Structure 1
Amino acid sequence: MLRGLVGGFAVLACAALASGGQFNRILDIGDPAPEWSALPGTDGKTHDAKSLAGAPVVVVVFTCNSCPYAVDAEERIVQLHADYAAKNVAVVAINVNLVEEDRLPAMKEKVEANGWKFPYLFDESQQIAKEFGAKYTPEVYVLDRERKVAYMGSMDDSPDGKNVTKTYVRDAIDAVLEGRDVATAETVPVGCRIRMSRRR
Structure 2
Amino acid sequence: MGLGKMNTTWISLAHSLILCCLLLLIGGCQNPEEEANTENQPPVPQTEEETPTEPGAEEPETAETPTTPDPKPEPVKQEPLTIPEVKLSGTHASSCKVKVGDTFPTATLPNLEGEETEWGSVTGEKLTVVLFWTDAGLTGMYSQEAIQDLQNKVAGSFQDLGVSVVGIYVGGKAEDAKSFLEGTETSFPMLVDAEEKLYSEVATDYLPRIYVLDSEGKIVWFDLEYTLSTQRNLMQTLKVSLQEEAAPNAS
Q: Is the 8 A contact 2:171 2:196 kept in 1?
A: yes
Partner of 2:69: none
1:85 aligns with 2:159: yes
Residue 71 of structure 1 corresponds to 144
1:143 aligns with 2:213: yes
Shift of 1:167: 0.8
Q: What do the CA deviations read for 1:34-74 (whole angstroms, capped 9, x no partner)?
A: 0121x111244321212246521011100123312112322
Paired residue for 1:190? Answer: none
Residue number in structure 2 paired with 1:58: 128
C-alpha displacement of 1:88: 2.5
- 2:150 is aligned with what amino acid? I
Distance 1:97 1:120 in 2: 14
Structure 2 unaligned blocks of 5 or more: 1-91, 246-251
* Structure 1 residue 171: Cα displacement: 1.2
CA shift in 2, pair 1:95/1:150, >3 Å = same
CA distance in 2, matches of 1:151, 1:28: 8
Measured after TM superposition, the shift of residue 30 of structure 1 is 0.6
- Structural mapping, 1:9-88, within 5 Å: 22=93, 24-37=95-108, 39-52=109-122, 55-66=125-136, 67-79=140-152, 80-88=154-162
Rounded Cα–Cα distance in structure 2 between residues aligned with 1:171 and 1:40: 31
In 2, Cα distance between equivalents of 1:116 and 1:25 = 27
Distance 1:134 1:170 in 2: 26
Equivalent position amino acid for 1:141 in 2? Y
- Secondary structure, aligned partner of 1:137: coil
User: Compared with structure 1, are the counterparts of its residues 26 and 77 closer, same or farther at alpha carbon in structure 2 (3 Å cutoff)?
Assistant: same
Partner AA of 1:127 in structure 2: K
Change (3 A) 1:77 1:155: farther
Count of residue pairs brought into register by the alignment: 150
Q: Secondary structure at the match of 1:179?
A: helix
Q: Which amino acid aligns with 1:132?
A: V
CA displacement at 1:110 relative to structure 2: 4.2
Could you tell me which runs of 5 or more consecutive residues in structure 1 were left unpaired when the two chains were aligned: 1-20, 159-163, 181-200
CA RMSD of aligned residues (A): 2.5
Specify whether residues 119 and 74 from structure 1 end up closer, same or farther in structure 2 by C-alpha distance, changes over 3 A only.
same
Distance 2:230 2:197 in 1: 34
More contact order relative to length (CA 8 Å, sep ≥ 6):
1
1:118 Cα deviation from its structure 2 partner:
0.7
Provide closer, same or farther for how the CA distance between residues 140 and 29 of structure 1 changes in structure 2, counting only shifts above 3 A: same
Given the superposition, is the C-alpha separation of residues 166 and 25 from structure 1 closer, same or farther in structure 2, using an over 3 Å criterion?
A: closer
Q: TM-score, normalised by structure 1?
A: 0.65
- In the TM superposition, what is the alpha-carbon distance from 1:155 to its structure 2 partner? 7.9
Residues of 2 paired with 1:24 and 1:34: CA distance?
Answer: 16
Q: CA deviation at 1:157?
A: 4.4
The reply to whether residue 128 of structure 1 matches residue 202 of structure 2 is no
In structure 2, C-alpha distance between the alignment counterparts of 1:25 and 1:118, rounded to whole Å: 25
For 2:115, give the aligned amino acid: K
